[in-house]
Amino acid sequence: MTPKEAMEFAKNRKIEMVDLKFMDFIGTWQHFAVPVYELSEDSFEEGFGFDGSSIRGWQPIHASDMLVIPESATAVIDPFITRPTMSLICNIVDPITKENYSRDPRNIARKAEAYLKSTGVADTAFFGPEAEFFIFDDIRYATASNYGYYHIDSAEGVWNSGREEKPNLGYKPRHKEGYFPVPPTDSQHDLRDEMVRVMESIGLKVEAQHHEVATAGQAEIDLHFDTLVKVADALQWYKYIVKNVARKFGKTVTFMPKPLYGDNGSGMHCHQSLWKNGKPLFAGEEYGGLSKMALHYIGGILKHAPAICAFSNPTMNSYKRLVPGFEAPVNLAYSSRNRSASVRIPMYSPSPKAKRLEFRTPDPSCNGYIAFAAMLMAGLDGIQNKIHPGEPLDKDIYALSPEELSSVPTTPGSLEESLKALEADNDFLLKGDVFTPDVIEKWIEYKIDAEVNPVKMRPTPHEFFLYFDC
């Protein structure tokens, strides 16, 4: 959709407001709205001003003026705002230099796509994220110098099997038994269907929706794969829609990787493949029906995985899911079909077009623009340097002896370790000016100051349980 077509779109649908959405540095959508008469074709080049110093990780107050430049091709009708509103996803530009802002995550993703084309390796990178989430009925939390707590509740939670609900009708999934039971055990089918309906109303393509493994309303809706920037845009719409539909039903959604102790966390397995001139490049005669290029791409992912984790698993909570010895993809190995490897080669279809790899380590707390870009840059580094991923691991990793397991590298054990890995290994990200040094430096600085240190310094309720009487 061109700027002219976007203006016609607004006119034909009697749009009254225009909502301008953009991504902050950490990964949360931001927005502000203007009356439709403030939008013209020139707006798609001149943009709208805002205060960049109020956005996490961005400008200092003495250089705060920034511009959002709406992208006309992203125009849709916002499904939740009462007044007829056209939504536009925006890029961030410096008002003085007119350069794209280095810390705009969408700019990083756009540069990753441009770099891919410049290499001649491929012209298209497809990504297909499988973001999991929890749908809860109630969440309470607070923290201060003298207390800290959280309390989660769900009508589906197995802990409520004995609660007086007048009547309690049962059918609450037990821990790790939430995968695929029909209603009434799956009590949220209609809710997920409504999420899918709203996604489809704005043009998103959905492959499937289902209950996930954990008790208490863990869910998954799978987006159809698309090119890197488009699927990162779609992931933001996905989160926005899921949260707002849940709220309309009187429920709440979290994409925290590990909100519940003793049950599965939420991951975001990322399917990815490279194409050129409309032809898939990952199909071949090597292991798992892959090409040598695909194996080298995997080699890059596995080599740089500790650094990638700083973006793909970017929270302190992420590492409560990535714990060795449990059902989490912490082992940096690859395999066909084996879901205990961090990189899996799906074997559902023999079609070359379906040949892809699935990186299982990421979680949905990540900023999709940055995380997908980092994965692509790692894979390209693997191709350019012909990094072989080693031998595949087709055994059950969790059944290996300590001796066998000792040779299998693992993901970092904490966000702090991931940030140290990123600090030590980031040259592959700097190629093509995709990531810039200021992005990496600011990411590490922000995460240490705003997340790592505050969490490290606070006692938790379980520490009182363990140590108060010491």
**DSSP character string of 279-303:** EESSBSSSGGGB-HHHHHHHHHHHH
Q: Are 443 and 421 in contact (CB under 8 A)?
A: no
Q: Say which DSSP state 434 is in.
A: S
**Positions marked active-site:** 51, 130, 132, 212, 220, 269, 339, 358, 360
- Among 127, 341, 314, 388, smallest CA distance to 238 is for 127
Give me the amino acid identity at 301: I
- List Cα–Cα distances, 97 to 64, 69, 70, 94, in angstroms: 14, 14, 18, 6
| Cis preceding linkage at 280, omega within 30 | no
Measure the CA angle with vertex 72, ends 275 and 434; round to 5°.
45
Q: Which positions ≥6 away from 17 have C-beta within 8 Å?
A: 33, 34, 35, 36, 81, 83, 84, 85, 86
- Among 316, 327, 341, smallest CA distance to 256 is for 316
**DSSP character string of 47-100:** -EEEEGGGSTTS--GGG-EEEEEE-GGG-EE-SS-SS-EEEEEEEEE-TTT-PB
Phi, psi at 378, each rounded to 5°: -65, -45
3-state secondary structure of 29: strand
- Among 80, 9, 79, 82, smallest CA distance to 44 is for 9
Q: Are 76 and 86 in contact (CB under 8 A)?
A: yes
Give me the amino acid identity at 371: A
